[in-house]
Amino acid sequence: MNSNFSHFKDMKKLLYLVFFFLLTAFAWHKYYVSVTEINVKNDHLEIIIRTFPDDIENVLSDTYGIKADLSKKQTKSLLKTYILSHFILWTDHDRQLSYKYLGFTLEDGFLVLLLKADLPPDIHMLKVKNTLLFDMYDEQKNIVHFIEGKKKESYILVKEEPVATFHLSK
């Protein structure tokens, strides 16, 4: 009877060990996410994209074959190129909406990208394609918040579905 009890204690220890390993494995896993906020103003869109600077440096290094460093002029230029090719806006009738890349800041450990787009007066719909970091991380998720007055819509974009459609109230 003692040997059965001892075996039970060993199994219990093993289960605790497996359970602990599973919990800590999830805690060590890095999350790959960006958050985009699109604010509709009278005649323009204010767009703020927040992501992790190390993820951007990694994708720039991998994409352009350089040692990316956000404090360097070359990296800043390549970041603009990368953003312009991976963040795309369309309006009604699939007309691409151009925007200005205003630059970035670093806030509380996040890279904050600032964009601005003039808003055509006849716009009723906006499509957003955000493929930032999809070429680097399969687990990447890009959350897009669309804010127009008191109305707020949100989508989670993934590699397989990188486009969200928003309807304006105008």
CATH number of the domain where residue 37 is located: 2.60.40
CB neighbours (10 Å) of residue 135? Answer: 14
β pairing state of 151-157 and 44-51? unpaired
Together in a domain, 57 and 125: yes
Together in a domain, 124 and 154: yes
End-to-end CA gap in the chain: 78
Average pLDDT taken over every residue of the chain: 87
Together in a domain, 8 and 58: no
**Count: domains in the chain:** 2
pTM: 0.81
Together in a domain, 20 and 54: no
pLDDT in tens, 16-63: 555 555 444 444 447 789 999 999 998 999 999 999 999 999 999 999
Together in a domain, 14 and 53: no
Residue 128 and residue 1: Cα distance in Å, rounded?
67
Residue 151: pLDDT band (50, 70, 90) is very high
Together in a domain, 37 and 116: yes
- Range of 3's domain? 1-29
Together in a domain, 23 and 39: no
Where is 13: in which H helix or E strand?
Answer: helix 2-28
Together in a domain, 69 and 134: yes
Together in a domain, 83 and 152: yes
Together in a domain, 135 and 105: yes
Residue 83 and residue 34: Cα distance in Å, rounded?
13
